[in-house]
Amino acid sequence: MPFNFDAYLKSLDILPSPTPNPEAGAYTRPVTTQLSAFPWQVKHLTGGFTNTTARVTFTEPVILSNSPLCPGKFASAILKHAPPTLASDPNESLSVSRQLVEGRALALIAGKEVVLEAGEAPVQTQVLKEVLDRYPLIHIPSVIWHDADQNVLWIEDFGELGSVAEVLASDAAARDSAINELAAQLGSFLAQFYQGSKTIPGELFDRLTVESDTVVGGILQYLVNATRIALEEVPGVDEDEKSELVGRVENALYDIRNIPERRCLGMVDFWPGSVLVDANWETFGLIDWEYFGKSDEASELGMFLAHFHLTILKPSISKASVSRLGNFVATMFEHYNRSSGSQQPQAPFQWRLLLSYGREMVYGFTIYEYLKDQVLLDAKMAGIRALRAAGPDADTLNLQELWKGGDRDGVHWLRSALQNLGFATEGGT
């Protein structure tokens, strides 16, 4: 059953002005609380693949007396409930420690102290905060409270923001200069964030990612199995090739986790739903850090690219929207490439990006209801071409496989995006 946020809120003491109690280091709760005097509105938010998420808006600003982390009042908050499974698939187990991972990630990026084990001295690093401080348009939410007993994480509410891909596809008016500035800052931020994380001392890096390894380890095989299922009955893919393509996806997923020199810290699950934008195109919010840990730049960018590509396949999308989506990702990739200092990414980077992109294209229909019939087949075939282009390893990379389809499924759009990332895309159709 979906999590009942109203019942959860009624079980808490939500007060307008709790009395400070310095000796206890927190707040004193009154004996009784008139809950009816402090109404709230719960709005369930979409995109809950991992958690059940809602925005709670209070009629009057309140203080959560349970939380010594939040001494101030707030008018609203985002509440994320973590069941012991995927929220979208109750048959698939997933560790609730993902909330601990997210809370630590948000504190770490803010330059705050993080306790890794009870009784240990807290650790702290400023390198990620220094990167974030360079990009004033990008905002990462603060933690209000982690209710570990109920598996509910309270985080800062940025207001009514939309997924960057959805907003770009909506024909909502926006200045090209504003869109380009946000895309440029995001690309540069990502490049410097990944590089900065590699400077964290190895022992601390490993300690920071113990919990995230537990969470991510529970979902890797799910991704492999989802790819295998999505390749069933696709024309032109026999059983031998299907096994080969699934094997490539599996090898890439585990390769990222196990080869130290390729590791960085990242969101791991980086897609347009992680990037929110306001109606005036003045602010980005980067959300959903519950997988934060060992990652790989190419794989994160490949996943992001795939979901932009899946958005342009929406049957009702306008040419202007397709152009905006293309311009955004091209500008983002151009500035990522510029900030990373690599004009042409090496073959291993291209290999991992194509495998991540291809994997997401193949099973992206699980989140986009418009991917059906011919549109679904187009998406899968674009993904299959990418998996074929990657080859068994970086030494067998063959980008010409990418261009063997027509443009119904966005071949030219993809070429432009990869060119701005530094891929050599000459030849083909």
pLDDT at position 189 is: 98
Q: How far apart are CA 358 and CA 389, in angstroms?
A: 9
pTM, to two decimals: 0.90
Structure tokens at 62: 């309140």
Structure tokens at 189: 């931020």
DSSP classification of residue 391: -
pLDDT at position 26 is: 40
Continuous segment of H or E residues that includes residue 314: none
User: Which range has the worst mean pLDDT, 9-23, 105-119, 249-263?
Assistant: 9-23
How sure is the predictor about 175, in pLDDT bands with cuts at 50, 70 and 90? confident
pLDDT at position 367 is: 83
Biggest CA–CA distance in the chain, Å, is 75
- What single-letter amino acid sits at 54? A
Residues 400-410, mean pLDDT to the nearest whole number: 79
Structure tokens at 362: 């193949």
* 3 state DSSP class of 56: strand
pLDDT higher than 60, residue 23:
no
User: Which range has the worst mean pLDDT, 31-35, 148-152, 234-238, 395-399?
Assistant: 31-35
22: Cβ–Cβ under 8 A, 6 or more apart, which residues? none
pLDDT at position 260 is: 62
> Could you tell me the domains of the chain?
5-97+138-155 (no CATH), 162-420 (3.90.1200.10)
CB 188 within 8 A of CB 335: yes
Nearest to 282 by CA among 188, 127, 175: 175
Structure tokens at 82: 């973590």
DSSP classification of residue 209: T
Burial class (CB in 10 A: 0-12, 13-18, 19+), 150: middle
Nearest to 409 by CA among 306, 330, 327: 306
